[in-house]
Amino acid sequence: MTNGEPDERADGHARGMPRLNDRGERHRVVVVGGGFGGLQAVRSLRGAPVDVTLIDRRNFHLFQPLLYQAATGALAPEEIAAPLRVILKRQRNVRVVMGEVRGFDLDARRVIVDRLPENEEDVSFPYDTLIVAGGSRYTYFGHDEWSQVAHEIKSLESAIAVRQRIFAAFEAAELEPDAKLRKAWLTFVVVGGGPTGVEMAGQIAELAHDTAALGFQLAEPRRAQILLMEASDRLLSTFAPRLSTKAARALERLGVTPMLHTAVTDLDEHSVSVRRPGGDTEQIPTRTIVWSAGVVASELAGALAAASGAELDRGGRVAVGPELTIQGHPEVIALGDMVSVHDAAGHDLGLPGLASTAMQQGRYAGASVRSRAEGRSSEPFRFVDKGNLATIGRARAVAEIKGIQISGALAWLTWLAVHIFYLIGLQNRLLVLTRWGFSFLTRGRSARLITHRPASPSPVLKLGRLRPNVRTEAKATLKG
């Protein structure tokens, strides 16, 4: 990649996208975000006559659909992630930069990056084409302070924090002599009845009733309560109602309690307060809350909107046209969860916020850059609906593919095949397949280590902090 000043505006060829740098240099493409969409865009440019710079605040690609399994000990974190430099090591026209994008200078065609390792000053990267794939994050509906107690599972770090808290809760329950307090430790609340919430609740139930139950004497994990809270009238609202009902029944058989029409009004280190149907409020003692409700676009969508004057919708998504470009800036492509795609008439297409959507858009963006750099025009983006999948537990899943609704073991096998296919790296595929096979046969989980004490409030009790009579009791119990 060259580091000269940005080029003058192109002559409008191919709807505003320049074919080559006016000074005879290779076309410079900056891709922001190494998730599903960004990585597909970069890989689609392999062998193209362009220089690509991929910028991400992490040095790895994360397979987010399996984060909940890392959060419940079914998989180790490194099995669902792969270093970006390793993934792209054979793509010679790509440079990987670890840094956090702070803003965009669209007039100068530069991306401003800070938080580079060992560098306190901002760095800017010039581009001829910019592709932004910033993704999304969970929203706490104006209560950002809740994030200190209710952890989400959008990042690898947060998934590890959830895993620490879940397993530490079992350990704390083992040492708690008071039955009422022990019940609070063994009450797990999952907020949000979408695919992530359903999958997370199912995994915690299997963990409590099968795996964790084998190693405790006093805690009795099989008595754990797993509460799945959803403000609407059904789980998995993007699925057909019939599949939502099947999913709810499968969860109930696992020991999960779906709580529909239930909205969280407050929460703290010791409880969650909810509003039930009819307006009644209830306070539920718990020490573990997992948040999977409400999604808003990445902050990068707002930064693009501020720089370009583009509109933002209620979810913070920036508006893009049929070719995924920002109005007035055809050299800027945005995609994934952070955008709302509009047709030529300006109507929002309402595309689903799924990994498959971002991947299709990423491949389209790469192909668009390649074709336009070669002097060919691009057709508008066309979304292909590949369906919906959600797993609930062992041999339990629901799927909706091309209008066909399936559930049970067949849907579960379909889910397994799809996720193994899209997982990055042959090594990770083999490891995950092996883990799943071992877990299916033994009901075991390999990643159950508590490597450090979770941040306050800590679920881990120290014997030295117990009352004298309780300390003696606990020691005697531990000695057998």
Predicted confidence (pLDDT) per residue in 109-144, tens digit: 999 998 666 666 779 999 999 999 999 999 999 999
**Nearest CA-CA partner of 314 in 300, 332, 294:** 294
Report the pLDDT averaged over residues 170-184: 94
Q: What percent of the chain has pLDDT over 70?
A: 86
pLDDT digits (tens, 9 = 90+) for 371-398: 887 778 889 999 999 999 999 999 999 9
For residue 160, pLDDT over 90 is answered with: yes
CA distances from 220 to 104, 214, 472 (A): 54, 9, 21
**pLDDT tens track for 221-247:** 889 999 999 999 999 999 999 999 999
Cis geometry, peptide bond prior to residue 457 (ω within 30 degrees of 0): yes
* Stretch 17-24: mean pLDDT: 53
Domains and CATH numbers, the chain: 13-57+99-138+296-373 (3.50.50.60), 144-293+388-442 (3.50.50.100)
| Average pLDDT of span 185-207 | 96
Per-residue confidence (pLDDT) for residue 37, from 0 to 100: 97
- pLDDT for 120 equals 67
Candidates 392, 415, 193; CA nearest to 290 is 193
426 has pLDDT over 50: yes
- pLDDT for 361 beyond 50: yes
Half-sphere exposure of 243 (CA within 13 A, CB side): 27
Q: For the purposes of burial, counting CB atoms within 10 Å of the CB of 217, is it exposed (0-12), middle (13-18) or buried (19 or more)? A: exposed
Low-confidence winner among 80-94, 130-144, 344-358, 370-384 (lowest mean pLDDT) = 370-384
| The pLDDT value given to residue 436 | 87
- Average pLDDT of the chain is 87
Cα gap 11→9, rounded to integer Å: 7
Mean pLDDT of 167-185: 94
> What's the pLDDT band for 47 if we cut at 50, 70, 90?
very high
388 sits in the region (left: phi over 0; alpha: psi -120 to 50; else beta) called beta
Comparing 60 with 374, the larger pLDDT belongs to 60
Query: Per 3-state DSSP, what percentage of the chain is helix, strand, and coil (rounded to 5)?
Result: 35, 25, 40
Instruction: State the Cα–Cα distance between residues 354 and 23, nearest whole angstrom.
Output: 40
* pLDDT band at residue 10 under the 50/70/90 scheme: very low
Residue 478 has pLDDT above 60, yes or no: no
Beta strands 50-56; 94-98: pairing state: parallel
Catalytic residue positions, numbered: 199
